[in-house]
């Protein structure tokens, strides 16, 4: 039994609460999954699903999904059923009001709105469409492959997602620098009819399937509009489709229904339980689709026979001689049915699906490339994406070189933290910058300072505090203050795993030796500085 007994102070007890998750298709709120209302709490007993489930609570739709006490999106809840029934107490921080919550947008600057309400004539509806453009799109005349993705709210931005984002824009921005992989991504928002739009087959629990019409919309309406506006590679081998759960199901359908349009498909945690008819459909279409590249992903901790159904599909493909080289299927031992799992596997899937578009492989050690997408007042910016480290989590490291930089001279070095905040307000989370390039250039031009370069490791927002807080300082706090901080950290599920000593080791034992070797710099203490 699940009991929701800790609710927001402004909760309206006249409203009903629903549980929604992967075990019922993420509907947002079905009548049979409405919690029983008591005096000041709600409760529901779920039948044993034999596996882990992922879920959230809503007031009946995803526009009213639960948030944390800061009105921020939360990751999916999970539960593993036990042999003996147990009671779980649930705390809910806040409810979404359908408007943008206070989560800071994580959408990257090279994602734009293609249409707020693009017409879908096949369904007599409209839909918001977002488009990711490669970092070098504005600076070249190149054409690019295109990836169409479903559940657009979860593709680029944690502020619009209801269950976490895929970080497609961040991932592809990194792959641009590390592998030379550039892909246009078209993200199509879902609607309240998601279950019907993402299947071409009838299921007893849901309404009339609209998947055939939805895919025809992509093929006959959206793709021509995208191809007209953007520099796209229009052929089948450069057109892909990707999604998860029901989005994985409709991606599978799309590539088999229209193999003349989609030459690749990323099929994550597909909901193959929807109908036996999809297996017959796949067999019928197989010979037409044999040249397509198919990437299947499944977590072994996903419920409702998800693993067994994908294995059944793979056996069907194998039995009917679908080319083995065109299939990549991965079963992750710890994978569960949520965005964090799909996000963690995205890079691998993209590199396999678009292997022919990868321009180079990263070197074993740090490798810097010039950044042309940052608006600099002077000089140029070099970037090592995900600088490897034995001490801290990999992160980007930018190196700003002044306009007069020459290997024939020697420069002092200024190390500055929070590297993503230093040079271009257009790329920062709060649209503010330090203006390091402007100030440094002017000071050097006026002869007020010695010539120097700036080395700027980025922060990782969720562990910034742990990386930057001086570890030994905590021991100087009195016991009462230590306990207060520790208790508050536990209450907020916040880690006190200080890592500043390792961060300093990264700066001194890994980053500085790389800088000293790569750039024309003065390596002694008198010419090495730090700021933040």
Q: What is the DSSP annotation of 317-384?
A: HHHTT--GGGEEEEEETT--SSHHHHHHHHHHHHHHHTGGG---PPPSS--EEEE-SS--SSSEEEEE
- Structural domains in the chain, CATH included, are 2-95 (2.60.40), 111-357 (3.40.50.1820), 368-531 (3.40.50.1820)
The two three-digit tokens of residue 390, written as one number? 């034995």
Name the phi and psi angles at 125, rounded to 5.
-135, 175
H/E segment holding residue 445 = helix 436-445
Rounded-to-integer distance, Cα 441 and Cα 34, Å:
63
The two three-digit tokens of residue 290, written as one number? 């044999």
Q: What is the pLDDT of residue 370?
A: 92
Q: What is the pLDDT of residue 294?
A: 98
Per the DSSP assignment, residues forming a β-bridge with 42 are: 4, 37
Name the phi and psi angles at 341, rounded to 5.
-70, -50
With both helix axes pointing from N to C terminus, report the angle between 277-289 and 246-257 in degrees, rounded to the nearest 10.
40
Rounded-to-integer distance, Cα 155 and Cα 243, Å:
10
Q: What is the pLDDT of residue 423?
A: 96
The two three-digit tokens of residue 265, written as one number? 């498909």
For the chain of 532 residues, list the mean pLDDT of each consecutive stretch of 10.
91 93 78 90 85 84 85 79 86 80 73 95 97 89 97 92 88 89 97 94 92 98 98 98 97 98 98 96 96 97 87 97 97 90 96 95 82 91 91 93 95 97 89 94 96 96 88 88 84 77 95 96 97 96
Rounded-to-integer distance, Cα 338 and Cα 55, Å:
9
* CA-closest candidate to residue 421, choices 390, 371, 461: 461
Q: Is 62 left (phi over 0), alpha (psi -120 to 50) or beta?
A: alpha
Residue 452 CB neighbours (<10 A): 21
488, 492, 497, 502 alpha-carbon torsion, rounded to 10°: -110
With both helix axes pointing from N to C terminus, report the angle between 277-289 and 306-319 in degrees, rounded to the nearest 10.
40
SS3 7: coil
Q: What is the pLDDT of residue 223?
A: 98
H/E segment holding residue 3 = strand 2-6
The two three-digit tokens of residue 202, written as one number? 């009838």
């Amino acid at each position: 039994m699940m009991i929701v007994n800790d609710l927001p102070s402004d909760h309206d007890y006249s409203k009903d609460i629903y549980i929604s998750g992967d075990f019922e298709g993420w509907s947002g709120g079905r009548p049979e999954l409405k919690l029983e209302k008591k005096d000041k709490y709600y409760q529901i007993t779920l039948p044993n699903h034999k596996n882990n489930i992922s879920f959230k609570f809503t007031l009946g739709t995803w526009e009213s999904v639960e948030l944390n006490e800061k009105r921020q999106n939360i990751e999916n809840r999970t539960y593993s059923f036990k042999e003996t029934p147990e009671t779980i107490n649930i705390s809910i921080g806040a409810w979404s009001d359908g408007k943008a919550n206070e989560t800071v947008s994580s959408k990257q600057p090279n994602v734009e709105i293609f249409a707020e309400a693009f017409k879908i004539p096949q369904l007599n509806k409209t839909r918001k469409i977002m488009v990711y453009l490669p970092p070098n799109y504005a600076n070249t005349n190149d054409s690019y492959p295109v990836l169409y993705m479903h559940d657009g709210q979860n593709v680029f931005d944690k502020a619009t997602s209801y269950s976490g984002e895929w970080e497609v824009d961040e991932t592809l921005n990194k792959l641009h620098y590390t592998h030379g992989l550039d892909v246009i991504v078209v993200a199509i928002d879902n609607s309240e009819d998601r279950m019907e739009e993402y299947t071409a087959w009838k299921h007893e629990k849901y309404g009339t399937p609209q998947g055939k019409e939805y895919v025809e919309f992509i093929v006959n309406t959206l793709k021509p509009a995208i191809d007209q506006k953007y520099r796209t590679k229009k052929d089948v081998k450069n057109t892909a489709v990707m999604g998860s759960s029901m989005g994985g199901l409709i991606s599978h359908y799309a590539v088999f229904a229209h193999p003349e349009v989609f030459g690749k498909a990323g099929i994550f945690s597909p909901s193959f339980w929807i109908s036996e008819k999809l297996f017959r459909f796949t067999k019928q279409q197989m010979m037409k689709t044999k040249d397509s590249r198919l990437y299947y992903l499944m977590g072994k901790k996903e419920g409702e026979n998800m693993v067994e159904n994908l294995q059944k599909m793979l056996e069907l493909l194998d039995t009917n001689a679908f080319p083995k080289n065109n299939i990549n299927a991965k079963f992750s031992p710890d994978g569960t049915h949520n965005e964090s799992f799909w996000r963690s596997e995205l890079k691998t899937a993209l590199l396999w699906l678009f292997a022919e578009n990868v321009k180079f492989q990263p070197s074993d050690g740090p490798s810097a490339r010039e950044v042309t997408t940052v608006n600099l007042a002077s000089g140029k910016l070099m970037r090592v994406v995900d600088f490897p480290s034995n001490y801290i989590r990999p992160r980007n490291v930018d190196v700003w070189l002044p306009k007069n930089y020459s290997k024939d001279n020697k420069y002092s070095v200024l190390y500055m933290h929070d590297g993503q905040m230093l040079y271009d307000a257009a790329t920062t989370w709060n649209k503010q910058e330090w203006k390091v390039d402007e100030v440094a250039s002017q000071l050097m031009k006026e002869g007020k300072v010695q010539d120097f370069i700036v080395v700027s490791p980025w922060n990782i927002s969720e562990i910034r505090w742990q990386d930057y807080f001086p570890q030994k300082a905590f021991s100087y706090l009195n016991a009462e203050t230590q306990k207060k901080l520790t208790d508050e950290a536990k209450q907020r599920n916040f880690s006190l795993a200080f890592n500043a000593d390792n961060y300093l080791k990264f700066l001194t034992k890994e980053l500085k030796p790389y800088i000293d070797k790569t750039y024309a710099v003065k390596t002694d203490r008198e010419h090495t500085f730090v700021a933040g």
